[in-house]
């Protein structure tokens, strides 16, 4: 007997849905947390398997069309977190799961329309009288041979849902609608590479340099560059980069391609590489001062004991909270665990990223709003595969699929940008991070120079471990603050006049 799967479709729908799947151990092995394609009404949608039902809920269930992932993209702990968010912030589980994955992980259903026959004159007259919009739709489909987006049709006909009209035309035998899943193709760029046959033909290579080195030096410069890049492990170079670097005309490159000197192909758009100078300097050997050491030691006690614990560091601006964070991260990494480090967008500066990377080399993933969908997808996969030991991210970074987490840090925990306003789920990343730490049974550190009222209250009530750094790390004196009653000041000023 077939088992059934409970699936959360990635739509704003409260309930989950059951689908059938063959009772094949290899097929359903480790299927919870994987994306699947399922029929939903008249279309196909992406969903995530939440659990396996040993017995089908009803006799007749629609089948799962396709399993999209080789390995789950959500483990049991992330599914627990998603369910908590759905319940606490009153939104659908599908909306939470959609927010927790890169945009191009959600495949969309598309309709492919095949024109079977054109209407007779009498049929056109009948449709014009009884269903003028249906007639207009059919003429539009015939004119475009069915190659038109559903959104364009709805806009042309001023319809919110074109499906009933399509079904009616299909029943009359005018068209046939084929459902398929939109293929998500990663962004491509045109790249150039050196032709290996040309490179290995020493006589031809030397002849090319003799011919063009003086007359057209840019040709030989491009050849030398491509050969060097290939030797350095980069066989494909974006054509736009070569044009920008050598100021060479596209027509010249085209001539080199036709001559068989270089080859042209399409490759996945590479992630943005930032070759910035070390802006912070190497702080690896910086020592903690007395106040910082006390905070560090108290938090490390919790890390060593294990289990969930929450900590609030109340440190004045310039007190060196970041140095405490990096020392904590270093200790956690040395224990074989990974770290999630959240901070507001405005705080995720190149200087701070560089500062952390100066401690930990290239083991840092950075998630922020300026990433393209392709870059976000690549980083998501690399994080999931354990290629990074640290993930620095803004609000959405709370969903980063970091395996083997040992510590979560939320810097500037008071910042309002941690709150997602729209669209759903309207979650607070700080509170979500606390719940994630509790699910994983690991410590979480909140830091701020101006703690939020709720965090301050939790610390005073004993729910958080409270740590305080009163002095600036460089010994600078804090400015003197005076509270002035401006109403009284203005009144006294009027009296003097």
> Of 121, 170, 115, which is closest to residue 143 (Cα–Cα)?
115
Instruction: Report the C-alpha gap between 417 and 400 in whole angstroms.
Output: 18
Written as six digits, the tokens of 241 are: 């980069």
Average pLDDT, the chain: 86
Query: Residue 270's pLDDT band (boundaries 50, 70, 90)?
Result: low
Token digits of residue 156: 């042309």
317's tokens: 């601006």
* Rg of the chain in Å (alpha carbons): 30
Peptide bond into 294 cis (omega under 30): no
Task: Among 7-11, 178-182, 242-246, 470-474, name the one with the lowest average pLDDT.
Answer: 178-182
Measured over the CA atoms of residue 445, residue 449, residue 454 and residue 460, the dihedral's sign is positive
d(CA 457, CA 403): 32
Contact assessment for residue 76 and residue 34, using Cβ atoms and an 8 Å cutoff: no
User: What pLDDT is attached to residue 486?
Assistant: 87
For residue 47, which of 87, 99, 97 has the smallest C-alpha distance?
97
pLDDT at position 494 is: 65
> 202 burial class (0-12, 13-18, 19+ CB within 10 angstroms)?
exposed
Phi, psi dihedrals of residue 468, rounded to the nearest 5° = -130, 135
If one counts every other C-beta atom within 10 angstroms of the C-beta of residue 206, the result is: 10
- Residue 2 pLDDT class (50, 70, 90 cuts): low
In CATH, 290-469 is 3.40.50.300: yes
The CATH class of 3-105 is alpha beta
Element holding 163 (H helix, E strand):
helix 163-171
pLDDT tier for residue 277 given thresholds of 50, 70 and 90: very low
Which DSSP string corresponds to 215-262?
T-HHHHHHHHHHHHHHHTT---EEHHHHHHHH---HHHHHHHHHTTSE
Give the contacts of 187 (CB within 8 A, at least 6 positions apart).
Answer: 268, 269, 372, 373, 374
Query: Residues for the chain: how many in total?
Result: 497
Which span out of 243-257, 262-276, 395-409 was modeled with the highest average pLDDT? Answer: 395-409
How far is 321 from 451, CA to CA, in rounded Å? 13
pLDDT at 355: 79
Q: What dihedral angle (degrees, nearest 10) is formed by the CA atoms of 162, 163, 169, 174?
A: 90
Does residue 59 carry a pLDDT above 80? no
Average pLDDT score over residue span 83-103: 94
pLDDT of residue 150 exceeding 90, the answer is no
Lowest mean pLDDT among 393-402, 453-462, 485-494: 485-494
CA–CA distance, 331 with 325 (Å, rounded to integer): 10
How is the chain split into domains, by residue range? 3-105, 109-181, 188-268, 290-469
Least-confidence region, from 140-149, 226-235, 373-382, 395-404:
140-149
Given the DSSP bridges, would you call strands 405-411 and 338-342 parallel, antiparallel or unpaired?
Answer: parallel
66 falls in which pLDDT band (50, 70, 90)? confident
* pLDDT of residue 274 exceeding 60: no
Which range is least confidently modeled, 51-65, 311-325, 382-396, 436-450?
Answer: 51-65
Residue 430: predicted pLDDT: 97
Q: Which of 2-11, 16-25, 178-187, 426-435 has the highest mean pLDDT?
A: 426-435
Continuous H helices in 306-372: 321-334, 350-360
Q: Is the pTM of this model over 0.85?
A: no
pLDDT bin (cut points 50, 70, 90) of residue 275 is very low
Structure tokens at 305: 């004991």
422: left (phi > 0), else alpha (psi -120 to 50), else beta? beta
Q: Is 246 exposed, middle or buried (0-12, 13-18, 19+ CB in 10 A)?
A: middle
Please tell me what DSSP assigns to residue 419: B
55 Cβ contact list (under 8 Å, min separation 6)? 1, 3, 4
Task: With beta carbons less than 8 A apart as the criterion, state whether 328 and 300 touch.
Answer: yes
In angstroms, the CA 15 to CA 320 distance is 47
pLDDT in tens, 196-211: 889 999 899 999 999 8
The whole-angstrom separation of Cα 31 and Cα 157 is 42
Q: How far is CA 63 from CA 37, 38, 383, in A?
A: 10, 7, 32
Average pLDDT over residues 215-230: 92
Average pLDDT of the segment spanning 292-314: 96
Place of tokens 């059951």: 18
Asked if the domains 3-105 and 290-469 are classified in one and the same CATH topology, the answer is: no
Strand order in the sheet with 443-448: 364-367, 390-393, 338-342, 405-411, 443-448, 309-315, 465-469
Give the least confident one: 208-222, 320-334, 478-492: 478-492
Query: How high is the pLDDT of residue 37?
Result: 87
pLDDT score, position 106:
67
Residue 147 backbone class (left: φ over 0; alpha: ψ -120 to 50; beta: rest): beta
pLDDT greater than 60 at residue 278: no
Lowest-confidence region among 87-96, 359-368, 392-401:
359-368
Query: With b meaning 16 or more CB within 10 Å and e meaning fewer, what string describes 438-474?
Result: bbbebbbbbbbeebbeebbebbeeeebbbbebebbbe
Query: Cβ distance 325 to 469 under 8 Å?
Result: no
Task: Quick: pLDDT tens for 166-203.
Answer: 878 888 899 887 765 554 444 567 889 999 889 999 89
465 closest CA partner among 295, 331, 335: 295
Question: In this structure, what token pair is assigned to residue 217?
Answer: 């030096």
Where residue 109 falls among pLDDT bands split at 50, 70, 90?
A: low
Distance CA 86, CA 435 (A): 13
Select, from the ranges 22-36, 143-157, 348-362, 399-413, the one with the highest average predicted confidence (pLDDT): 399-413
Q: Using CA atoms, how far apart are residues 59 and 74, in angstroms rounded to an integer? A: 29
Quick check: 284 pLDDT over 60? no
Higher pLDDT, 275 or 257: 257
Task: Report which of residues 109 and 44 the model is more confident about.
Answer: 44
């Amino acid at each position: 007997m077939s088992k059934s799967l409970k699936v959360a479709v990635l739509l704003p729908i409260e309930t989950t849905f059951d689908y059938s799947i063959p009772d094949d151990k290899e097929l359903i092995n480790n299927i919870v947390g994987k994306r699947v394609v399922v029929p939903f009404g008249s279309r196909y949608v992406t969903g995530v398997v939440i659990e396996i039902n040993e017995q089908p809920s009803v006799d007749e269930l629609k089948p799962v069309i396709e399993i999209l992932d080789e390995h789950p993209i959500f483990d049991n702990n992330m599914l627990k977190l998603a369910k908590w968010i759905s319940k606490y912030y009153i939104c659908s589980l599908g909306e939470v799961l959609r927010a927790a994955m890169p945009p191009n992980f959600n495949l969309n259903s598309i309709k492919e329309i095949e024109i079977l026959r054109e209407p007779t004159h009498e049929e056109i007259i009948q449709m014009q009288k009884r269903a003028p919009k249906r007639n207009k739709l059919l003429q539009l489909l015939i004119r475009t041979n069915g190659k038109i987006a559903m959104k364009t049709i709805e806009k042309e006909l001023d319809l919110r849902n074109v499906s009933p009209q399509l079904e009616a035309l299909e029943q009359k035998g005018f068209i046939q609608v084929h459902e398929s899943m939109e293929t998500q193709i990663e962004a491509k760029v045109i790249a150039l590479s050196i032709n290996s046959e040309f490179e290995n033909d020493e006589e031809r290579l030397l002849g090319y340099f003799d011919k063009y080195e003086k007359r057209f030096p840019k040709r030989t410069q491009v050849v030398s560059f491509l050969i060097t890049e290939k030797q350095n492990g980069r066989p494909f170079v974006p054509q736009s980069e070569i044009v920008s670097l050598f100021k060479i005309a596209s027509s010249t490159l085209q001539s080199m391609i036709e001559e068989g000197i270089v080859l042209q192909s399409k490759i996945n758009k590479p992630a943005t590489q930032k070759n910035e100078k070390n802006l912070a300097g190497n702080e690896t050997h910086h020592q903690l001062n007395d106040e910082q050491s006390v905070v560090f030691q108290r938090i490390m006690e919790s890390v060593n004991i294990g289990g969930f614990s929450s900590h609030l560091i109340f440190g004045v601006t310039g007190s060196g909270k970041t140095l405490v964070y990096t020392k904590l991260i270093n200790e956690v990494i040395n224990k074989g665990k990974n770290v999630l480090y959240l901070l507001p967008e405005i705080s995720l500066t190149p200087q701070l990223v560089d500062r952390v990377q100066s401690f930990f080399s290239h083991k840092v993933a950075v998630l922020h709003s300026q990433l393209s969908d392709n870059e976000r997808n690549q980083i998501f996969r690399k994080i999931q595969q354990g290629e990074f030991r640290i993930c620095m991210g803004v609000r959405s970074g709370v969903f980063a699929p970091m395996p083997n987490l040992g510590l979560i840090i939320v810097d500037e925990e008071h910042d309002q940008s941690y709150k997602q306003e729209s669209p759903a789920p309207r979650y607070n990343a700080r509170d979500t991070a606390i719940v994630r730490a509790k699910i994983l049974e690991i410590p979480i550190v909140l830091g701020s120079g101006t703690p939020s009222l709720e965090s301050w209250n939790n610390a005073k009530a004993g729910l958080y471990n409270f740590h305080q750094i009163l002095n600036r790390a460089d010994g600078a004196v804090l400015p003197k603050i005076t509270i002035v009653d401006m109403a009284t000041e203005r009144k006294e000023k009027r009296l003097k006049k």
